[in-house]
Amino acid sequence: MTHPLCYDAGRDRYVEVTWNEAFAKIGKVLQSLPRDSAVFYSSGHAGLEASFLYALLARVYGNNNLPQSSNMCHETTSVGLQKVVGSPVGTIVWDDLEKADAFFFFGQNPGSNSPRFLHPLQEAKKRGARIVTFNPVVEQGLVSFVNPQSPVDMLTGRETQISDEYLQVQAGGDIAAILGLCKVVIEADDDALARGLKRIIDVDFISEHTMGFETFIACVRQTSWSDIEQESGLTEAAIRRAGEIYIGAERVIGVYGMGLTQHSQGSVNVAMVVNLLLLRGNIGREGAGCCPVRGHSNVQGQRTVGIAEKTKLIPMDKLKQLFDFDPPTEDGVTIVDAVKGLMAGKIRGFVSLGGNLVRAVPDQKAMEQAWAAQELTVVVSTKLNRTHLFPGKNAYILPCLSRAEIDEQATGNQTVTTEDSFSHISGSIGKRTPASKHLKSELAIVVGIAKATLDSNPRRKWDEWLGDYGLVRDLIEATYPKEFKDYNARMFKPGGFYRGNAAHERIWKTEQGKAIFTAPKRLNALSFGNTDGRFRLVTMRSNDQFNTTIYGYSDRFRGIEGTRDVLLMCEEDMAVSDLKARQIVTLVSDFEDGIRRELPGLVVTAHNLPRGTIGAYYPEANVLNAIDHYDELSKTPASKAIPVRIEA
């Protein structure tokens, strides 16, 4: 893609247009729409500068409709972790990885999805740290690791064993599993108390810093091992072994990903990890803490600089004062709200800063129709994708520079900054010659749309900002003075600068001012029960894809080659369901809403999974999920346990 494209319905194709034509028309349509019927989505790619201006564009336009890809991802963290420790992001910094004695991995797959993580893990193992994994799928990167950057490892094929204990919890079974770990801790503490030995739980920390301990402990004591085994799919003995590792470690980091966040009770999953850590004071201390691993390169940073649908997260007074407008006071839409709004015909225009939303959301079939019924679809993209195939009445594809490309503006080549999972902010300057001289930067596109859509105002100096991104960083600093102090000066420090995290300092910005123990109301993270023939479908990523972009058909870590149209299940489930390897089947969703959702043509493939849990690839399996199936607290779609049946 080298030029902006506009969909020509008469010829059923996209045709090249000039940037000015595109901006003018987009501005005109946006102006004609009711303010609450337009949405400004972003997918976590764009840097902090473009993101800040994008959020400003939406708010001056008149709404907080700023959903983001993390609404499908770590919103469970933004809301759930915030609720219990007062931090919407991880509490550790990179250096903590070098100091931990044990890592507990829950539903995160570093081998495929965050390979940089494998290096500190390998180092950790070398110094004797222990690693415990909870995952229904045996993921190679969590079993062992050959360091591609180590010539000795590569020549000898020498592997480092990663997990000391690998617990194949059933999908949605983590609440029970973690409760079991806590039970081991409490029992050991009872024993220590009875024998007059050093306590196992951190009594001082718990009394000074936490709330809800008694209720939680009562819940742990009341829950029987047989219920824990039943709901987790794990044996008491296995959980005890893992619990002993937890007790034996002075400093523990709890790592988690989509395996916890994408469930109906995803926020409770997150709160359970926090419960476990709090018991021994493993938050806000060197080498210990909570580590949600983020996806897109700037997905966390976009939230930091104002891409958020929740008004309470935004310093509206500052925005009002800096930019001379009355910020909208109503909360905007999440992704789930937006999709439902689309389906109901209430959302009429959509601007996407990156992403492939039609492909990424549940109920994909209905979404395709609803998307194309809009007055306006604008997708700012680096590559073509399926969303482009469903043009609205006015439809634009706006091709942008990628971060690796040189971004030259009036004052010279520009720097773009991003924030990583450890709250570090750093700058980068593109080095590659752009693929085409017609491409614009994301910031330039945001400015183009803003100027064509909004009234002019001397306080909104879009052209000046475009000429020098450093001025935008000054605005970010003015809006968030604490986090971004001396922003322009500090962004090139190696590793970036740390914007700080209160929970890391044991300051709890929760409603109660304390870290919160949560007693779970149920032992699994599901919104449905077990019935005959119903399975829990996990939607999986391979190393050969980045979200909706499929690069190839080799899932080499799992040994699945040549196709993605597979249904993975264990041999026992195959036998009980009377299915043979290589048989072709259809997956049908098993919600109780009367809608038939199906995915035909899957090849039954034996895989090492627990009973009752089966796997298929994301995004293909998105046709099976229902838009109303999401984490209760944060509305993150529950993509990791979709109730399904198999039709032979």
Ligand X SMILES: Nc1nc2c(c(=O)[nH]1)N[C@H]1C(S)=C(S)[C@@H](COP(=O)(O)OP(=O)(O)OC[C@H]3O[C@@H](n4cnc5c(=O)[nH]c(N)nc54)[C@H](O)[C@@H]3O)O[C@H]1N2
Binding stretches for Mo ion (CB under 5 A) = 73, 295
Q: Is 73 in the site for ligand X (CB under 6 A)?
A: yes
Stretches 128-136, 243-251, 410-418, 495-503: which one binds ligand X (CB under 6 A)? Answer: 128-136
The three-state secondary structure class of 426 is strand
Q: Indicate the DSSP class of residue 68.
A: B
Q: How far is the CB of 262 from ligand X (least distance, A)?
A: 6
The three-state secondary structure class of 598 is strand
**Which entry of ligand X, Mo ion, none binds 238, CB below 5 to 8 A by partner kind?**
none
**Which entry of Mo ion, ligand X, none binds 609, CB below 5 to 8 A by partner kind?**
none
Task: Work out which of 134, 145, 216, 535 binds ligand X, going by CB under 6 A.
Answer: 134
Stretches 81-89, 302-310, 351-359, 586-594: which one binds ligand X (CB under 6 A)? Answer: 351-359
Q: Is 112 in the site for ligand X (CB under 6 A)?
A: yes
- Choice between 223 and 264, CB closer to ligand X: 264
Task: Work out which of 101, 419, 442, 631 binds ligand X, going by CB under 6 A.
Answer: 442
Q: Is 469 in the site for ligand X (CB under 6 A)?
A: no
Mark residues 292-321: x for contact with ligand X by CB under 6 A, - for none: -x-xx-------------------------
Stretches 95-103, 146-154, 180-188, 255-263: which one binds ligand X (CB under 6 A)? Answer: 255-263
Task: Quickly list DSSP for 385-412.
Answer: -GGGGS--SEEEEEEB--TTB--EETTE
- Choice between 86 and 354, CB closer to ligand X: 354
With b meaning 16 or more CB within 10 Å and e meaning fewer, what string describes 43-81? bbbbbbbbbbbbbbbbbbbbbbbbbbbbbbbbbbbbbbb
Q: Which two tokens stand for residue 216?
A: 């939680």
Stretches 151-159, 288-296, 368-376, 573-581: which one binds ligand X (CB under 6 A)? Answer: 288-296
Q: Which two tokens stand for residue 467?
A: 């000429």
Q: How far is the CB of 402 from ligand X (least distance, A)?
A: 5
Radius of gyration of the chain (CA): 25
Residue 486: Cβ within 10 Å count: 9
Q: What is the largest CA-CA distance in the chain?
A: 84
Cα dist from 166 to 10, 125, 177, 453, 557, whole Å: 58, 15, 12, 54, 16
**Which entry of ligand X, Mo ion, none binds 538, CB below 5 to 8 A by partner kind?**
ligand X
Q: Is 71 in the site for ligand X (CB under 6 A)?
A: no
Amino acid at 317: D
Stretches 77-85, 107-115, 209-217, 428-436: which one binds ligand X (CB under 6 A)? Answer: 107-115
Task: Work out which of 210, 377, 385, 421 binds ligand X, going by CB under 6 A.
Answer: 385
**Which entry of Mo ion, ligand X, none binds 174, CB below 5 to 8 A by partner kind?**
ligand X
Residue with token string 């309470």 = 312
330, 396, 386: which is closest to 357 by C-alpha? 386
Q: Is 539 in the site for ligand X (CB under 6 A)?
A: yes
Beta bridge partners of 408: 413
- Choice between 136 and 434, CB closer to ligand X: 136
Q: Which two tokens stand for residue 447?
A: 């400015």
Mark residues 576-615: x for contact with ligand X by CB under 6 A, - for none: ----------------------------------------
Task: Work out which of 75, 96, 139, 375 binds ligand X, going by CB under 6 A.
Answer: 139
Cα dist from 253 to 12, 42, 246, 419, whole Å: 53, 30, 10, 21
- Choice between 113 and 423, CB closer to ligand X: 113
**Which entry of ligand X, Mo ion, none binds 134, CB below 5 to 8 A by partner kind?**
ligand X
Q: Going by C-beta distance under 8 Å and a sequence separation of 6 or more, which residues neighbour residue 578?
A: 648
218 close to 256: Cβ distance less than 8 angstroms: no
Q: Is 289 in the site for ligand X (CB under 6 A)?
A: no
Q: Which two tokens stand for residue 103?
A: 């890592």
